[in-house]
Amino acid sequence: MIAGGGVAGLEAMLALHELASELVDIELIAPEPRYFYKPVAVAEPFGLGDVRSFDLAELAASAGAQFTPGELVAVDARAHVAHTAWGAFDYDSLLLACGGLPRAAVPGALTFRGPADTPLIESLLRELDAGDVTRVAVAAPLGAFWTLPAYELALMIASSGNVEVVLVTPEDEPLMLFGTVAREAVQRMLTQRGIALRAGVCPVEFRDGELQVTPGPPVAADRVVALPRLYGRSIDGVPQTKAGFVVVDDHGRVDGVQDVFAAGDLTSFPVKQGGIAAQQADAAAEMIAADAGAELVPQPFRPVLRGLLLTGHAPRYLRRDVARGTAGTVSVDPLWWPPAKIVGRRLTPFLAGVTQRPEHAIEIDVELERETVSRLQVGLGF
C-alpha cells in the first residue's frame, strides 16, 4: 500500500511495478483524485507555463495498480492495518508518501505555496505594471528547506518591469545546497539583474512598509512574497518529530515500526524537493520488492540534487552529488535527460509517455535564449 499521490508515491508505484509486478499487488491511496505537476507553478503567473494535472486512477491503472480515494489518518503497525476516514485497509508493506503541509511563516507577506496562489502573484504583477508597487522583497523563511523557488520568483519579478527586488534568505550564501559553483553563478546572476541579497537573516514579519528580519535592520518594501514553512502531516501510530516529520533509514524504513516505509517531504531529510522524493521512493521500493522476494540488491538513498532554475531569461541547470560533497555544476545546457523540473528515474519518462510528448517540452531556441528570452513555453518541464 502506498499512501500519497505525489511524486514519491507515483515513483514508488512505478518502481514496484517494474521490480516486483508478479510478487506484489499495489494499491495507491490519496485524498485527491488528481496529481498536479507543481514545479512549474512558479512560472504560471508570469505566463511562462501552465500547471498540468493527471487523473490518479488512470495513472495507477497504467502501472498495474489500484487507486482508492482516501487520506491516511492512522496506522496500526502490529495488526498491519492502515486507517483512513472512510475505512481500514490491510497491508503487508506500507509506504508513507503523504507529503508535507505548507503554512504561512511571515505575517503580512503574500505566501506562495503553489498553483492555488497564482492569483496573488498575478495581482502583484498588475500592481507593478501600474506603477503602484516599486519595491518587492522575496523571502525564504527558516524551515522552508527548498529555497530555489524564492530565487526564481526574485529573478522573474526583476525581469517583469521597473522594480527594486531584494532577496532575503537564512542561507549564508545563495543556493548553498548546490555547492560553490552554483553559489557563484547565482550571485553573479542576482548582481546582473540588480537584485539585492540579504543572506544569513530570517524574515519575521512585514508591516508598515518594512520586512522585519533577524538579525539586522529591516528591509524596506511595498510588498513581500514569502515561501511557506513545511510541516509533516500527523498520522496516529507513526513516530514523528515535533514538526511532524518521520525519521527513516537509508532504505526508507521508518524508525522503530516494522514494514512501514516513508519517502518524500514527510521524512525528516532536510531537503524537500521532488527529485529527492523520487530518489527516496526508489530506495524504499527496492527494499519492499526485495522483502517480497524480488532478486535484487536494494540500493540505499544517496542524494543527488538536480534543479532547473527558471530565471525569466535563460534557465540554468544545477546539479550536485550531495553524498560525495562535490562542488556542483551549473549549465545553460541540460545536465540530465529528459531535462525535467522533477527528475524521477521512472516518473519523468512515464509522464512524458502519458502526455504523448516524449520530446523536449521546454520549447526554447537555445541560441536566442543565450541572448535574451522573454518567454519560456514550459510544459511538463521535460
Lowest mean pLDDT among 247-256, 303-312, 331-340: 331-340
**208 and 109 in one domain?**
yes
* Cβ pair 102, 113 in contact under 8 A: yes
Please tell me whether residues 219 and 116 are part of one structural domain: yes
Q: What is the pLDDT of residue 164?
A: 97
Q: Which tens digits make up the pLDDT trace of 80-127?
A: 999 998 899 999 999 999 999 999 999 999 999 988 899 999 999 999
48 in a domain, yes or no? yes
Per-residue model confidence as pLDDT tens digits over 283-301: 999 999 999 999 999 999 9
**Full residue range of the structural domain in which residue 87 is found:** 2-102+230-291
The predicted-structure confidence for 14-40, as pLDDT tens digits, reads as follows 999 999 999 999 999 999 999 998 878
Same domain? 18 vs 98: yes
Mean pLDDT, the chain, as a whole number? 90
Tell me 301's DSSP state: P
Residues 240 and 164 in one domain: no
Q: How far apart are CA 351 and CA 57, in angstroms?
A: 14
Tens of pLDDT, residue by residue over 231-241, are: 999 999 999 99
Which residue(s) pair with 29 in the sheet? 3, 68
Contact indicator for 243, 231 with CB cutoff of 8 Å: yes
Q: Are residues 108 and 225 in the same domain?
A: yes
**What's the pLDDT at 380?**
38
Residue 5 near residue 35, CB atoms below 8 Å? yes
Q: What's residue 360's pLDDT?
A: 35
Question: Predicted confidence band at 12 (pLDDT cuts at 50, 70, 90)?
Answer: very high
Q: Are residues 186 and 44 in the same domain?
A: no
With 0-12 / 13-18 / 19 or more C-beta atoms within 10 angstroms meaning exposed / middle / buried, residue 210 is middle
pLDDT band at 226 (very low <50, low <70, confident <90, very high): very high
CATH number, domain of 170, equals: 3.50.50.60
Instruction: Locate 177 and state its grid cell.
Output: 545546497
pLDDT at 314: 86
| Residue type at position 223 | R
Task: Report which secondary-structure segment, H or E, holds 158.
Answer: helix 148-158
Residues 112 and 98 placed together within one structural domain of the fold:
no
Tell me, yes or no, whether 117 and 146 share the same domain: yes
In a domain, residue 376? The reply is no
Residue 185 located in a structural domain: yes
Residues 77 and 120 in one domain: no
Distance between CA atoms of residues 306 and 175, nearest Å? 12
Q: Is residue 331 part of a domain?
A: no
Query: Are 21 and 71 part of one and the same domain?
Result: yes
259 burial via Cβ count (<10 Å: 0-12, 13-18, 19+): middle
| Residues 219, 127 share a domain | yes
Alpha carbon distance 226, 210 (integer Å): 14
Residues in the chain: 382
Residues 18 and 84 reside in one and the same domain: yes
What pTM was estimated for this model as a whole? 0.91
Looking at 229, 253, 271, which one is the last position of a domain?
229
Query: Is the per-residue pLDDT at 358 higher than 50?
Result: no
